[in-house]
Amino acid sequence: MQEYVTDAIILRKEPQGDLDGRYTLFTKRFGKIAAKAKSSRKITSKLASHLEPGTLAKIRFIDTKGTQLIDALKSDRVALALADLHSLSRLLPDVEPEPALWELLTHGAFSWQETLSILGWDPEEAECATCGDRSPAYFYITRQEFYCRTHASKAPRDAVISIDARL
């Protein structure tokens, strides 16, 4: 049975069924992956405490019947708000390593401007997809487009990333 080891940032956890947990992780080696932890809420107090969103952990997983976490060891925390971790879990492509983003999240000062440019959407060059405004304030995650304040106002809050807060 093939077993994989990598450093990972826990982006999101969702309960699944009665006892299992489902996690979205940004890993150093494989990029974003989704993984299950069997009975994580039962056995775990131990494992689960290493799988809280924002945790930087060394994880082991196997690929049978989907990706299953078999171990996690917390090493640190990243300085990101829960909302930012959730936005990342929606934004990142599956199973695509992003070394520059990994470096930023683990060693740099997080910003959405920097993150979006690493992923190929440079806010400096962006304009509102509706009106062409040259200083858009939001990035719409599922549309992968920038919008000004006015044209982002109808979007659900968790669908957009605010990018002007730190300008």
Q: Count of residues binding Zn ion (CB under 5 A)?
A: 6
| 106 versus 130: smaller Cβ distance to Zn ion | 130
Q: Candidates 9, 148, 161, 163: give the one binding Zn ion (CB under 5 A).
A: 148
> Partners of 69 in the beta sheet?
61
Establish if 160 lies at the interface with Zn ion (CB under 5 A): no
Shortest spacing between CB 140 and Zn ion, in angstroms: 11
Which residues is 62 bridged to in the sheet? 3, 68
Of 95-134, binders to Zn ion (CB under 5 A) are 128, 130-131, 133
- In the complex, minimum distance from the CB of residue 136 to Zn ion, in angstroms, rounded to a whole number: 7
Q: Please give the structure tokens belonging to residue 110.
A: 């997080």
In the complex, what is the shortest distance from the CB of residue 123 to Zn ion, in angstroms, rounded to a whole number?
14
Which one, of 10, 99, 48, 145, lies nearest residue 159 by Cα?
A: 145
3-state helix, strand, coil in the chain (%, to 5): 25, 35, 40
Among 12, 28, 32, 151, binds Zn ion (CB under 5 A): 151
Q: What are phi and psi of 133, to 5 degrees?
A: -50, 135
Backbone angles phi, psi at 61, to 5 degrees: -145, 160
- CB nearer to Zn ion: give 33 or 148: 148
Output the six-digit token pair for 127.
């304009």
Binding site for Zn ion (CB under 5 A): 128, 130-131, 133, 148, 151
